[in-house]
């Protein structure tokens, strides 16, 4: 294969490399070799994603035909500003989480399971990238299930340390399968009225068919299914248990990328597939998405304030942060969608970092940690703690961190759209989020009962610090991300 051929096939490779490596990794008996292959897989995927992002900076967009079947017959991968940006964010975070997995995953699962675990890991990464790249409504369901089933396996691997991980995995499987089936019902309705499955083709056909109940029902089912996958309140119930009982490395991977892919799909369906029926999407946004997003923000934040288990606390906080992204998409203006994409990137870096830090604590202490067992860790594990703090300050939106940029753009989009009351709620909820972060910070610097320093290994804190520095970098020099998010928003809602 020549270089030009490789470049032409980049959109396929970014998904195919992890998927093809997964069965190879499953057969590797050595856990260290399996890890090397996983790093190679996610690393190559990241390189492909960066090259794809480079090819769309001029606002270009192109599509890649699988098996050289042109759409609307064949399955198409769409490369535009929006999908390229999301895939770069996701593969970058997946790569860093894989670096952490070398020590992070093996500390919590049996050595003999490592090969299979990395296989599921790669399948999850490949499935989620496919979710973002695909331009076919039914193909999206297949990627949805590839990523969901492999995530369930990864979550259930937490049973080595806590048997409740099995139940968390089972519940995610059940709720996720119902959600995905809802999505398929919706696709069925839309296919029945339009006769097409290609997203771009659908966008052109939907306004032309009679606007019967079937279109509305199809839209409703598709959205309901994606809301489950994106863990938007009140169908977020699978998320706290899944994130808190999964192995630490898996929590970091899923928190950073899993719901982000579904949120991207949400935007894609609302703004591309149903772009021709703005009255339908306007109702969905006004009466469903924005109220649910606000509900998620407050329920997540308040539950986080009262939670004692640190991973569950972060998971509740994720529910709230997903609410912010959904709210930004709900504004449905170019500025709003851009703010949503900015927060997709920033929240991936923030929450990925925080879960890596908590994983570092848990592995160093050799057990599950709640607030009580974190007492004084700031003095005993300073390197990990400072990394955690940087991500935490970014979460509440301190200036010069990534979180501040997110909040700034979200608030600006809300003001532009004359949603002053909602803006007030967002600022109030940000203030509330200080409460749960402060709770953690306070115990971290308490005088510890045992003051011996805990050894910290670079394999655990270097990935964390990459993300901590990423938080500061995105806060000080946010221009590249904001420009890319702006282009993505233009691509999706440019006409509105």
Partner 1 sequence: MTGPLAILADSWNYLVVICLMMGGLFIVISQQNLVKKLVGLAIFQTSVFLFYISVGKVAGGTAPILMKATDVAYSNPLPHVLILTAIVVGVATTALGLALVLRINAAFGSIEDDEILAMKAAASVPRARRDASSSEGAQ
The 3-class secondary structure across 100-137, one letter per residue, is: HHHHHCCCCCCHHHHHHHHHHHHHHHHHHHHHHHECEH
**367 counts as binding partner 1 under rule CB under 8 A:** yes
d(CA 393, CA 378): 15
Closest separation in Å from C-beta 138 to partner 1: 5
Binding range to partner 1, per CB under 8 A, among 92-100, 368-376, 402-410, 485-493: 368-376
**185 counts as binding partner 1 under rule CB under 8 A:** yes
In the bound state with partner 1, the residue whose beta carbon lies nearer, of 163 and 207, is: 163
Neighbouring residues of 143: CB distance < 8 A, sequence distance ≥ 6:
127, 128, 130, 131, 134
Site residues for partner 1, 108-167, by CB under 8 A, read 138, 141-142, 145, 149, 152-153, 156, 159, 162-164, 166-167
**In this structure, is the dihedral angle defined by the CA atoms of residues 54, 58, 63 and 67, taken in order, positive or negative?**
negative
Nearest alpha carbon to residue 13 among 129, 99, 102, 108: 129
Closest separation in Å from C-beta 114 to partner 1: 18
Nearest alpha carbon to residue 103 among 393, 384, 388, 471: 384
In the bound state with partner 1, the residue whose beta carbon lies nearer, of 98 and 159, is: 159
**170 counts as binding partner 1 under rule CB under 8 A:** yes
Closest separation in Å from C-beta 95 to partner 1: 27
User: What residue ranges in 177-280 does DSSP mark as E strands?
Assistant: none
Nearest alpha carbon to residue 317 among 465, 430, 460: 430
Cis omega before residue 31 (within 30°)? no
Q: Site for partner 1 (CB under 8 A): how many residues?
A: 39
Cis omega before residue 72 (within 30°)? yes
In the bound state with partner 1, the residue whose beta carbon lies nearer, of 373 and 457, is: 373
Closest separation in Å from C-beta 462 to partner 1: 24
Closest separation in Å from C-beta 281 to partner 1: 24
d(CA 19, CA 128): 11
Binding range to partner 1, per CB under 8 A, among 182-190, 353-361, 455-463, 481-489: 182-190
Neighbouring residues of 65: CB distance < 8 A, sequence distance ≥ 6:
71, 74, 75, 76, 77
Closest separation in Å from C-beta 71 to partner 1: 14
SS3 200: helix
The correct pick among 27, 110, 192, 283 for binding partner 1 (CB under 8 A) is 192
Closest separation in Å from C-beta 169 to partner 1: 6
The correct pick among 52, 122, 173, 402 for binding partner 1 (CB under 8 A) is 173
The correct pick among 16, 24, 47, 365 for binding partner 1 (CB under 8 A) is 365
Binding range to partner 1, per CB under 8 A, among 76-84, 168-176, 203-211, 478-486: 168-176
In the bound state with partner 1, the residue whose beta carbon lies nearer, of 170 and 473, is: 170
The correct pick among 26, 177, 434, 441 for binding partner 1 (CB under 8 A) is 177
Nearest alpha carbon to residue 316 among 244, 392, 410, 404: 244
In the bound state with partner 1, the residue whose beta carbon lies nearer, of 171 and 333, is: 171
In the bound state with partner 1, the residue whose beta carbon lies nearer, of 372 and 418, is: 372
In the bound state with partner 1, the residue whose beta carbon lies nearer, of 189 and 271, is: 189
d(CA 372, CA 378): 13
d(CA 320, CA 304): 9
Phi/psi of residue 427, each to 5°? -65, -40
**181 counts as binding partner 1 under rule CB under 8 A:** yes
d(CA 30, CA 33): 5
Strand partners, 156: none
Q: CA 335, 340, 341 angle in degrees (round to 5)?
A: 100
Site residues for partner 1, 403-462, by CB under 8 A, read 449-450
Binding range to partner 1, per CB under 8 A, among 7-15, 180-188, 198-206, 400-408: 180-188
Nearest alpha carbon to residue 104 among 308, 248, 291: 248
**212 counts as binding partner 1 under rule CB under 8 A:** no
User: For binding to partner 1 (CB under 8 A), which residues are involved?
Assistant: 138, 141-142, 145, 149, 152-153, 156, 159, 162-164, 166-167, 169-170, 173-174, 177-178, 180-181, 184-185, 188, 191-192, 197, 308-309, 365-367, 370, 372-373, 375, 449-450
């Amino acid at each position: 294969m020549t270089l030009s051929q490789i470049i032409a096939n980049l959109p396929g490779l970014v998904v195919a490399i992890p998927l093809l490596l997964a069965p190879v990794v499953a057969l590797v008996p050595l856990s260290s070799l399996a890890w090397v292959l996983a790093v190679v897989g996610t690393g190559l995927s990241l390189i492909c994603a960066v090259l794809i992002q480079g090819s769309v900076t001029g606002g270009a967009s192109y599509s890649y035909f699988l098996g050289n079947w042109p759409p609307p017959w064949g399955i198409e991968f769409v490369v535009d500003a929006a999908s390229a940006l999301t895939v770069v964010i996701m593969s970058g975070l997946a790569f860093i989480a894989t670096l952490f997995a070398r020590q992070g995953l093996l500390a919590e699962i049996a050595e003999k399971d490592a090969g299979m675990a990395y296989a599921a890991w790669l399948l999850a990464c490949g499935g989620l990238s496919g979710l973002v790249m695909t331009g076919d409504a039914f193909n999206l369901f297949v990627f949805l299930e590839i990523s969901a089933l492999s995530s369930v396996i990864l979550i259930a691997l937490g049973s080595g340390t806590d048997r409740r991980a099995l139940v968390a995995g089972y519940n995610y499987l059940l709720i996720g399968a119902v959600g995905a089936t809802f999505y398929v019902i919706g696709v069925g309705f839309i296919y029945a009225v339009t006769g097409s499955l290609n997203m771009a083709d659908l966008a052109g056909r939907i306004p032309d068919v009679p606007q019967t109940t079937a279109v509305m029902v199809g839209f409703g089912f598709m959205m309901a299914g994606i809301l489950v996958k994106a863990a938007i309140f009140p169908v977020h119930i699978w998320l706290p248990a899944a994130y808190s009982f999964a192995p630490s490395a898996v929590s970091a991977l899923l928190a950073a990328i899993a719901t982000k892919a579904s949120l991207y799909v949400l935007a894609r369906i609302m703004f591309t597939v149903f772009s021709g029926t703005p009255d339908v999407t306007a109702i969905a946004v006004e009466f469903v998405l924005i109220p649910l997003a606000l509900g998620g923000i407050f329920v997540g934040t308040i539950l986080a304030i009262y939670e004692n288990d640190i991973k569950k606390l972060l998971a509740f906080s994720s529910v709230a942060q997903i609410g912010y992204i959904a709210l930004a998409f709900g504004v449905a203006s170019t500025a709003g969608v851009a703010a949503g994409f900015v927060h997709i990137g920033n929240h991936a870096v923030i929450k990925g970092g925080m879960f890596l830090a908590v994983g570092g604590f848990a592995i160093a202490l050799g057990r599950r940690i709640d607030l009580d067992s974190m007492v004084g860790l700031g003095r005993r594990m300073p390197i990990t703690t400072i990394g955690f703090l940087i991500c935490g300050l970014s979460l509440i939106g301190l200036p010069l961190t990534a979180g501040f940029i997110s909040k700034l753009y979200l608030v600006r989009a809300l003001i532009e759209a004359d949603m002053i009351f909602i803006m007030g709620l967002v600022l109030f909820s940000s203030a509330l989020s200080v409460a749960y972060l402060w709770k953690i910070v306070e115990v971290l610097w308490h005088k510890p009962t045992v003051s011996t320093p805990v050894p910290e290994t670079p394999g655990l804190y270097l990935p964390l610090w990459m993300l901590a520095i990423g938080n500061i970098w995105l806060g000080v020099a946010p221009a590249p991300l904001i420009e890319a998010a702006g282009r993505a928003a233009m691509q999706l809602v440019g006409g509105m």
